[in-house]
A and B are shown apart, each in its own frame.
Chain A
Amino acid sequence: MSDHHDHDHDHDHAPITVDELPGYFDLMETAVRELLVERKLFKAEEIRRQIEVLDSRTPALGAKVVARAWTDPAFKSRLLENGRSGCEELGITFYDDTQLIVLENTGAVHNLIVCTLCSCYPRPVLGLPPDWYKLKPYRARAVHEPRAVLEEFGTFIPGDVEIRVSDSTAIIRYLVLPMRPEGTEHLNETQLADLVTRDAMIGVIQVAYKREAA
């Protein structure tokens, strides 16, 4: 059985194409879904729609939020007051009933997010989490030795800067608002958004900027 679900290759598996036997769990997913649709508990269309929703959520959305906060102080204060309504101002909907707290990194505080019990993550704004975020080493260690974890990501936070680790467990999700790097005063909002990565919004790295040689 195990050889069937161990699909490490990356070609497309179109659901209808009959060129390959689906793995055991792939079959189970199809069977569960079709049975529930047959019982009229939901429509097949709802699954297709939700796949489109998921596909539309990527770290680029979070990066837009961050860049707007860096360039618009009034927006930033609304965002810090209520993360969800701040994102909604930019058209980012919250399909999963969660609230959002935006955690601002400053010269005095560095924030890091984790979910020790499962894999809570600000999916509406960042999309789905990377595998390492869901695996034991990060989840187990981020709350116990955050500085060592940050160093593994190449991030060195001075001892006089407070590390704040937020462990998500219920209906609140977190998004880190990284510090705007120095030397970016001449960049516009779009250029700033290009600097912001997913990992910076999880808090494992800082946003870097190297002025390109002219």
Chain B
Amino acid sequence: MEGSLLAKIEKISGVVPAEGEVPVFNEGDTVVIATRSPIGHYRMPTYLRGKIGKIEAIMRQMAVDNEEEGYGRNAGSKGHYYRVAIPMTEIWPDYIGSANDGLRIEIFENWLEKPSDV
């Protein structure tokens, strides 16, 4: 919903968006969550590092990277957050439940990567 709207705006108007304004990922894209280990403060839980998911929605409102916000940055350096869908069986090999069960989480763009070989 949110993502397709953004895509539409871009196509119809043809205006030049500011740097970073156009989301890097689109709805339905497969993404890999990065495996890095920041220290001090992070908002990407360790249980999801390296897992593969799909972009379910793009959060229209851009926002500051919350890892930077944690050290007092209140403005600038904005980017997109994405709502990402990840199957429970992808996260937990021993998952007890239905293969359809899933997790949804909002992830800042700099934690998401395109799969290297698809």
Mask of A50-94 contacts with B, CB within 8 angstroms, 1/0: 000000000000000000000000000000010000000000000
A143 lies within 8 A of B98 (CB): no
Partner of A163, one of B1, B81, B98, B106: B98
Which of B12-20, B26-34, B59-67 is the contact stretch? B59-67
Distance between A182 CB and nearest chain B CB, rounded to angstroms: 23
* Chain A residues with CB under 8 A of B59: 99, 171-172
Interface band, chain B: 20 to 34
Number of A-B residue pairs at CB separation under 8 A: 76
Residue of B nearest to A116 (CB): B45
Whole-angstrom distance between the Cβ of B71 and the nearest chain A Cβ: 16
A168 at the interface (CB under 8 A from B): yes
Residues of B within 8 Å of A81, CB to CB, are: 1
Interface residues of A in 140-161 (CB under 8 A from B): 143-148, 159-161
CB of A123 within 8 A of chain B?
no
23 examples of A-B residue contacts, CB within 8 angstroms: A81-B1, A99-B61, A144-B92, A146-B88, A147-B96, A159-B98, A162-B98, A162-B101, A162-B102, A163-B97, A164-B102, A165-B103, A165-B104, A167-B104, A167-B105, A169-B43, A169-B107, A170-B43, A170-B66, A170-B81, A172-B59, A172-B83, A172-B106
